[in-house]
Amino acid sequence: MKLKVNEENNNYMVTTLKGVLISIVISIICIVILAVILTYTSLSESVVPILNSIVMIVSITIGAIYSSIRIKRKGWFNGAIVGLLYFILLILVSYIFIRSYKFNSHVIIKGIVALLTGAVGGMIGVNLK
């Protein structure tokens, strides 16, 4: 019985981390595409924050849906975990690469959006068959 519980916990962690990884890969692909578009078109750089938020929301939603489809229960919770882990990684990468990175109200709002987006994506995923 104990082996089965450990196996379920391991499967849960692996599935959640796969959801986060899927979110990150989607984000990287979208950011590269957006960078190319911004470089070779006359699109204003003022749209970058909006596009970054859209990329984050879409990426977290897809990762949360993936993870909740696989886990099959507590979709909102599993999705929120995917969103939270994605956001934590985003903060860590920002601190590493941006020396002047500041933790302010915009970052807190982005974290709340990541958490809620993950929860909604998880609810969608757990209800898909």
Per-domain boundaries in the chain: 2-127
pTM: 0.89
Among 118, 2, 115, smallest CA distance to 64 is for 118
List pLDDT tens digits, range 54-90: 999 999 999 999 999 999 888 899 999 999 999 999 9
Judged against a pLDDT cut of 70, whether residue 4 lies above it is answered with no
Judged against a pLDDT cut of 70, whether residue 117 lies above it is answered with yes
DSSP H helices in 41-129: 48-71, 75-97, 105-127
Rounded mean pLDDT of the chain? 91
9 confidence band (pLDDT: 50, 70, 90): low
Cα–Cα distance for residue pair 119/73, rounded to 1 Å: 12
